[in-house]
Structure 1
Amino acid sequence: MREPTSGSGDPLHGSDNAYLFADEETLLFDTFSPASANKIHSYLDEILDDRELDYIAISHPEPNHAGNVHRLLDAYPDATLVVPARGNEHHLYGIDDVPHVRYVNPRDSLTLGTFDLEFVPPYFPDHGMHIWMYERTMSALFCVDWMGYRHGTDCLRFAEDFSETKLKEGMEAFVSFALPWVQHVSMDRVSAAIEHLLDGYSPEIIAPAHGQIIRERPREYIRLMEEVMARISEREIDPAEWPTSDADGLTEDPE
């Protein structure tokens, strides 16, 4: 597929991220898309080194988040599938017929040893069956599609390696496509949700599903995203300019 470009004409890439916790017990948060099935199996084989995968947690049942669930359950048949409790369509995704499944609600916890996980309400979801996650010892927020952004060809970098201009450009490109509902919402409600999130959690690390990890000044990046969402919400909507999958094709970089 053709790569989208930035305002400067540079190619923009998108990333699919999955996060593995290896502790007394192990947990994988999200599973990449089916196109990355061979990669995720080789990554897990290398990192786990004959250990079992105890939990497979999915944020929401979309292909680039949950696309390898059943392949992984075949490889790790004793693993427990951790899924959002919200919603009544679990059978449509084959979630309700796996041997071991745990339904989680916001504020539920799961301790793996040192790592202490809390499941978080999705303040900015893109699916009705959706959950975020927070790891307490690292103060790391796993906010799935929110805080995502497209980036240049230097894929294996951290957010602080990019200029503010490039980040805002990448955020706007991503949010406009992945969270199109933003153009319809009141920014008063968006800002109130951000304040509620920051009152309840103090992230020192932000780990999005699509974009590099944010390790420094996380609140500044959240404010950047707030600015971007405000810009998108103020646009006049022209259906003729609605993006197509071809125009917004991505070079996916599983990280």
Structure 2
Amino acid sequence: MKVSDDIAFVGVNDHRIDLFEGQYDVREIGMSYNSYVILDQKVAVMDSVDAAFRDEWFANLDQVLGDSKPDYLVVHHMEPDHSANIAAFMDRYPEAQVVSSAQSFKMMQAYFGVDYSDRGVVVKQGSTLKLGKHTLSFVAAPQVHWPEVMFSYDETDKVLFSADAFGKFGALDVEDDWVTNARSYYFGIVGKFGKNVQMALSKVAGCYVKAICPLHGPVLTGDLSRYLRLYDTWSSYRPEQSGVTLAYTSVYGHTKEAVRELEAKLRDGGATVATFDLARDDMAQALASAFRYDRLVLATTTYANSYFPFMHTFVTDLVEHNYQNRTVGMVENGSWMPVAAKQMREALEGLPNIAFAHNVVTLKGALNDDSRGQLDALAKELLA
């Protein structure tokens, strides 16, 4: 696949993987690990791939390089799904140099036990690398989402190599909805670091970009304003659209019944609603939905003097990913001493600009006239 006349894709698709980063379920869609080659007077290979795909990657390189040899391996990000083959590359091409940030070279020492300083080119914000007619300008992007991350911009073909930014879950040979899997990827992988993403975006705002080459997912071309607008929205923690996420756990079905009645009331009132059973549904998608919409309802049971474990994990994810600028309602269940709503509120109340719904629904077992009245009141408040 060609990105431009001089830039080729040499990445791989992974359909063996079940959990990305040990937690995100990608069994149905897989992942891509992207690598690129810039062919010029000096040849630059942009990143490597996961260790399991070394031979396929080298075969892809051989096909594109022909009789040429690479002069540089540019390392934008040291996470092992992109950096695992650095040592193998450097052994295979003994004349090549590795180009990366100072922090990356420390990580190479830690990962591979090799000091590449004698074969290294250290770059930082504003550094350039001339390949011939192509010149790469480097952009420091620390904590997007690791501290060593660099972007690079090809001034000739107007291509931004964006590391993990603008990536998504899913292999390149799987047809899916880019926004859905890019949103869940962003909020799962990058979302904690919104301020850093905003800083990185500001650094490239003056560049005219024709294509974005991320380390996961498709090369983005055409009208890039949609992708840039979404990243600006996501990284500034603004709701993407009006709607309600209902996230719940239920042991014996009573809390689920309350959630379904609330869902119906909200839909009847014209609201867009996304409902997730946190014990069964993809929690990464539930997290992404919570950031997508402007309202969230947490519904769960009291459990061992706290609240149900799957909900505890979800609330922890919200806190760890800097959830903010939303309205949160609560439904709790507890047969003799319900404490879930109180404890969830305590966990969330330190987050910025979280407005808690005044009406809290409390069940002590099954729904009754009182708790149904509370559901009515919560629905009306959320629809107001």
TM-score (norm 2): 0.52
Contact persistence 1:205–1:214 (CA under 8 A): yes
**1:15 match: secondary structure:** strand
What is the CA–CA distance in structure 2 between the aligned matches of 1:88 and 1:2, rounded to whole Å? 30
In the alignment, is the contact (CA less than 8 A) between 1:60 and 1:84 conserved in 2? no
- Rounded to whole Å, the distance in 2 between the matches of 1:106 and 1:194 is 11
Out of 218, 240, 243, the residue aligned to residue 313 of structure 2 is 240
3-state SS in 2 of match to 1:89: helix
Query: What residue identity is the alignment partner of 2:119?
Result: H
Amino acid at match of 1:92: A
AA partner of residue 135 (structure 1)? D
Q: Taking structure 1 as reference, are residues 198 and 11 closer, same or farther at Cα in structure 2, changes over 3 Å only?
A: same
1:141-166 per-position Cα deviation (integer Å, ceiling 9, x unaligned) = 111111111247744x8xxxx7xxx2
Structure 2: where are the runs of 5+ without partners? 1-16, 240-287, 299-310, 318-384
CA contact (8 A) 2:160 2:211 kept: yes
Structure 1 residues without counterparts, runs of 5 or longer: 244-255
Output the amino acid matched with 1:45. Answer: D
Corresponding residue number in structure 2 for 1:75: 92
Q: 2 CA distance for matches of 1:179 and 1:123?
A: 12
Whose radius of gyration is greater, 1 or 2? 2
CA distance in 1, matches of 2:163, 2:51: 18
Out of 166, 187, 195, the position equivalent to 1:176 is 187
Q: State the alpha-carbon separation in 2 of the partners of residues 118 and 105 from structure 1.
A: 9
**Structure 1 pair 132–76 and aligned structure 2 pair: CA distance change class (3 A):** same
- Contact 1:109 1:116 (C-alpha < 8 Å) held by counterparts: yes
Deviations along 1:148-197, one digit per CA (max 9) or x if unpaired, are: 11247744x8xxxx7xxx22211122113322524xx5xxx468536623
Please name the residue that 1:30 is paired with. 47
Alignment of 1:137-148 (within 5 A): 137-148=156-167
1:208 match: 214
Distance (Å, rounded) in 2 between the aligned partners of 1:77 and 1:217: 40
| Contact 1:59/1:130 (8 A) holds in 2 | yes
- Per-residue CA deviations over 1:78-126 (Å, capped at 9, x if unaligned) read 0001121247834323453464111111111111112111111216611
- What CA deviation, in whole Å up to 9, does each residue of 1:190-237 have, x standing for no partner? 685366235332212111111101111112211122334435597589
For 1:119 and 1:50, how far apart are their aligned partners in 2? 28
Query: For residues 190 and 129 of structure 1, do their structure 2 counterparts lie closer, same or farther at Cα, with a shift above 3 Å needed?
Result: closer
Report the Cα distance in structure 2 between the residues aligned to 1:23 and 1:88, rounded to whole angstroms.
25
- The one of 108, 122, 141 equivalent to 2:127 is 108
1:58 corresponds to 2:75: yes
Displacement of 1:67 in angstroms is 0.7
Match of 1:125 in 2: 144
2:365 — aligned with what?
Answer: none
Q: What is the distance in 1 between the residues matched to 2:94 and 2:146?
A: 27
**Identity of matched residues, %:** 22
Written as runs of structure 1 = structure 2, the 5 A alignment for 1:212-227 is 212-227=218-233
Hey, what's the Cα distance between the residues in 2 that align with 1:60 and 1:11?
Answer: 26
Give the counterpart letter for 1:171 in structure 2: A
Q: 2:205 is matched with which residue: 193, 199, 203? A: 199
* Counterpart residue type for residue 96 of structure 1: D
Alignment-derived partner of residue 247 in structure 1 = none
Change (3 A) 1:30 1:74: same
- Residues in 2 aligned to 1:233 and 1:193: alpha-carbon distance in whole angstroms: 24
- Give the aligned residue type for 1:169: T
Q: What RMSD over aligned residues (CA atoms) do the two structures have, in Å?
A: 3.1
Greater relative CO, 1 or 2 (CA 8 Å, sep 6+): 1
Q: Which secondary structure does the structure 2 equivalent of 1:28 belong to?
A: strand
Given that 1:27 and 1:56 are in contact with CA atoms closer than 8 Å, whether structure 2 keeps it comes out as: yes
User: What amino acid sits opposite 2:219 in the alignment?
Assistant: I
> Does 2:115 match 1:96?
yes
Aligned-pair CA distance for 1:13: 3.2
* Larger strand fraction of residues: 2
Q: Which residue of 2 aligns with 1:246?
A: none
